[in-house]
Amino acid sequence: MTFPCNSFVLELDDAELTAIIRQSTAKRISEKRVTYLVDKLTKLANQSYCEVKKTSPMMEEIKYYAGELLRLSEYRQGVLEEMVTLAQPLPEYEILLSIPGITETTATSIIGELGDIRQFHSANQINALISIDLSHYESGDFLAKEHITKRGNPYAIKVLFKCIHNIASAGYTNPCHIADFYEKRKRQSQVTSTKPHTIASTHRLIRTMYYLITHNKLYDYTSTQNR
C-alpha cells in the first residue's frame, strides 16, 4: 500500500526504502534480506510504467484493494490455523503428516474434504467420491489413460493434486514410493502434460492413505520397497 505505483519508489533512495521496508513488518529481517528487497523493488519499479499520475484518485483505489487483499490473506491464515488446531487431536492427522510432502495445511484439507477415511469400505470408494476414473490399467510397458469425471468433488481433487506435486518435490530429499512412481511415469511417457501422471499417482496416494489410516500406521518408505 506504500507504493501503489513505481513513481513512489523511484523518488526514494536506498536508505529511505530500507527504512520503509523495516517499518512495514513486525518480523526481524536480516540486512541481507532487506538489501535484496530494496534491489528487487527498485528493479521492478524501473521495469514498470504507470499510465496515470501519482496524484490520480486511482491511487487510493489501488491502496484500498491492496489493503483488502492483505486483510483477506490474514483472515485466510487465521482460518487455516484454526482448522489445524481442530485437526491435531485426530489420529489420522499425524499419519498424514508422516507421508513426505504433506504439510499441516494439506493434511487438514484432506481431512476436511474426505472426512473420516475409516467410513469407506475400500480405497475405491474414495476414488468414486472424487470421481477419478478407475480404468487405470498397467501391464508391462502399456499404460492405459486415466481421467477425471465432472461429477466429483473439485476441492478434494485440487487438494490431492497439490499433495502429489508436493510429494514429488519433497522426493528429492525425502524419499516416497509415490514420488518414485510419479517420476517413473514421467520418464516413460512421451506426453508433455503431467496431468495423467498426477492422476495415476493420486490412485497410489489414496490407497496409501487408506491403508495407513485404517491400520493406524505411520508412513515408512522402506516397507514400500519390500512389496
Residue corresponding to grid cell 526514494: 12
Amino acid, res. 226? N
- % the chain with pLDDT above 70: 89
138 confidence band (pLDDT: 50, 70, 90):
very low
Query: 98 phi and psi, to 5 degrees?
Result: -75, -15
**Minimum mean pLDDT among 80-84, 149-153, 156-160: which range?**
149-153
Helix 58-87 / helix 104-114 crossing angle, nearest 10 deg: 70
Q: Residue by residue, what is the 3-state secondary structure of the chain?
A: CCCCCHHHHHCCCHHHHHHHHHHCCCCCCCHHHHHHHHHHHHHHHHHCCCCCCCCCCHHHHHHHHHHHHHHHHHHHHHHHHHHHHHHCCCHHHHHHHCCCCCCHHHHHHHHHHHCCHHHCCCHHHHHHHHCECCCCCEECCEECCCCECCCCCHHHHHHHHHHHHHHHHHCCCCCCHHHHHHHHHHHHCCCCCCHHHHHHHHHHHHHHHHHHHHCCCCCCHHHHCCC
The answer to whether residue 136 scores a pLDDT higher than 70 is: no
Check residue 207 and give its pLDDT.
94
pLDDT (average), residues 130-141: 53
**pLDDT per position as a tens digit, 176-226:** 999 999 999 888 877 777 888 888 899 899 999 999 999 999 999 998 886
CB 148 within 8 A of CB 133: yes
169 confidence band (pLDDT: 50, 70, 90):
very high
Q: Residue 36 and residue 70: Cα distance in Å, rounded? A: 22
Check residue 23 and give its pLDDT.
84
**pLDDT per position as a tens digit, 15-71:** 988 888 888 876 788 888 989 999 998 999 899 888 888 888 888 898 899 899 989
pLDDT (average), residues 84-100: 94
Check residue 78 and give its pLDDT.
93
CA-based Rg of the chain, rounded to a whole angstrom?
A: 23
pTM of the model: 0.72
Amino acid, res. 169? S
Check residue 148 and give its pLDDT.
52
